[in-house]
């Protein structure tokens, strides 16, 4: 079955679930009652949706590979103002250059490729404050760096939930803030002077920090095997490792010599009652939602964020009429919902436990992620690796994150201590 057919099947099941759970206006009290039969039908539909989701995920992985390449080509086309076909040829040249460098180091580049790499490195050398490196380095092109950053979004969700932007340099950046939730206009009599009320502005720092992929070792056999896509392997590991460490920092970073994570920066919205060290009730979610100002709650990106095990518990919750809070989306534009709000899984948010800040709610677009537009990839083939029959690769990137808000755009639910 094609992925489109699977999506249509899921949409149909989602609509059935929606019709089952939702109550039309004017329904009688008897019609509103949630019965054991309703629950059985709900459980069957949820099981069907979960099975379809598994099949969609398997199909999607193969499509993502093609989409990733298409994104790179589109980025090149837009930046350089060239046709998509010519951009595809440029991308092939870039990939060939990286593959040649990965297999054979600097010696594997022809004269033109070596010149291009040197010019790229000189452009960012002052920004990165780094030397040439005895074993050779590869300055990842901007278009490829952008696509690698997009791929990192798969590891946790903060890059998708927050607002990502890029700067050429990595110098300290004071980001302006202001809270206008308590400000209002006035009504005055005819010929009277308007009152002065200047907005209060502040700043929050959005610095960058240096991240390493750790050294990725590859055996000679794989490098020499022309049938093995060594470029994809190295890039994939870089994206995976950098994606995981940066997402963890964007989520729970302390803000001291590391990004200020969204959990760290969030304000308390609700603390659970004694006995809820690993649980949450419907009323807690209602209180958490209403602890966030309506001006944030009405934003398109407003929703929940939590660990997957927390979702498992939330799927068991029911509202005051006995209806489950979890509702499957019935099309691409309609995401799965908890209590009528979209949610995002982030495995770096703490699972529910004593004192854990386990559920976030709010407008996550106020979390800003700043990337420096340069990634350096180093290749090591000295004796320490050669005697093991390996080559080492190490990537460096600079990035930072902070919740740029002073009005409580994101708040958390905290499980009690006991």
| pLDDT at 130 exceeding the cut of 50 | no
98-115: pLDDT as tens digits: 888 888 787 777 877 777
Instruction: Say if CB 163 and CB 367 are below 8 A apart.
Output: yes
Q: CA angle, 315 as apex, 335 and 341 as ends, to 5°?
A: 35
Instruction: Say if CB 256 and CB 264 are below 8 A apart.
Output: no
Domains defined for the chain, CATH in brackets? 126-178+202-418 (3.90.1690)
Strand partners, 334: 331
Task: Count CB-CB contacts under 10 A for residue 22.
Answer: 10
175-195: pLDDT as tens digits: 877 776 677 888 988 888 888
pLDDT value, residue 134: 37
329-388: pLDDT as tens digits: 876 667 899 999 999 999 999 999 999 999 999 999 999 999 987 788 888 888 888 889
Q: Under 8 Å CB-to-CB from 39, ≥6 apart: which residues?
A: 324
Task: Count CB-CB contacts under 10 A for residue 348.
Answer: 21
What's the predicted TM-score (pTM) here?
0.79
Q: Under 8 Å CB-to-CB from 5, ≥6 apart: which residues?
A: none
User: What count of Cα atoms within 13 Å lies in the side-chain half-sphere of residue 23?
Assistant: 16
Alpha helices by DSSP H, 1-35: 3-21, 29-32
| pLDDT at 135 exceeding the cut of 60 | no
């Amino acid at each position: 079955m094609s992925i489109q057919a699977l999506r249509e099947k899921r949409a149909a099941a989602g609509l059935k679930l929606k019709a089952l759970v939702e109550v039309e206006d004017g329904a009688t009290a008897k019609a509103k009652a949630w019965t054991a039969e309703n629950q059985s039908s709900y459980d069957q539909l949820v099981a069907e949706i979960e099975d379809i989701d598994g099949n969609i995920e398997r199909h999607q992985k193969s499509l993502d590979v093609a989409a990733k390449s298409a994104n790179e080509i589109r980025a090149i086309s837009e930046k350089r103002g060239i046709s998509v076909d010519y951009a595809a040829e440029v991308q092939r040249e870039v990939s060939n250059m990286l593959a040649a460098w990965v297999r054979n180091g600097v010696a594997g580049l022809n004269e033109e490729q070596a010149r291009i790499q040197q010019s790229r490195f000189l452009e960012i050398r002052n920004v990165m404050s780094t030397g040439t490196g005895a074993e050779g380095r590869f300055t990842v092109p901007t278009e490829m760096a952008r696509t690698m950053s997009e791929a990192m979004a798969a590891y946790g969700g903060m890059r998708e939930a927050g607002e990502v932007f890029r700067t050429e340099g990595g110098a300290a950046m004071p980001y302006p803030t202001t809270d206008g939730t308590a400000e209002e206009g006035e009504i005055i009599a005819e010929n009277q002077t308007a009152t002065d009320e200047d907005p209060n502005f502040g700043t929050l720092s959005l610095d960058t920090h240096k991240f390493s992929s750790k050294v990725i070792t590859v055996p000679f056999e794989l490098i020499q095997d022309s049938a093995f896509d060594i470029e994809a392997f190295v890039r994939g590991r870089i994206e995976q490792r950098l994606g995981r460490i940066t997402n963890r920092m964007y989520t729970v970073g302390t803000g001291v010599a590391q990004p200020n994570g969204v959990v760290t920066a969030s304000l308390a919205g609700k603390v659970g009652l004694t006995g809820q060290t690993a649980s949450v009730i419907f009323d807690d979610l209602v209180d958490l939602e209403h602890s966030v100002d309506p001006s944030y709650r009405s934003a398109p990106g407003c929703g929940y964020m939590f660990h997957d095990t927390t979702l498992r518990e939330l799927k068991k919750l029911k509202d005051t009429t006995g209806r489950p809070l979890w509702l499957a989306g019935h099309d691409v534009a309609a995401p799965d919902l908890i209590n009528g709000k979209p949610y995002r899984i982030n495995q770096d948010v703490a699972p529910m436990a004593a004192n854990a800040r386990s559920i976030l709610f709010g407008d996550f677009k106020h979390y800003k992620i700043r990337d420096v537009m340069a990634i350096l990839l180093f290749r090591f083939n000295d004796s320490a690796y050669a005697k093991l029959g390996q080559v080492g690769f190490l990537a460096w990137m600079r990035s930072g994150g902070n919740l740029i808000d002073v009005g409580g755009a994101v708040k958390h639910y905290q499980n009690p201590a006991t």
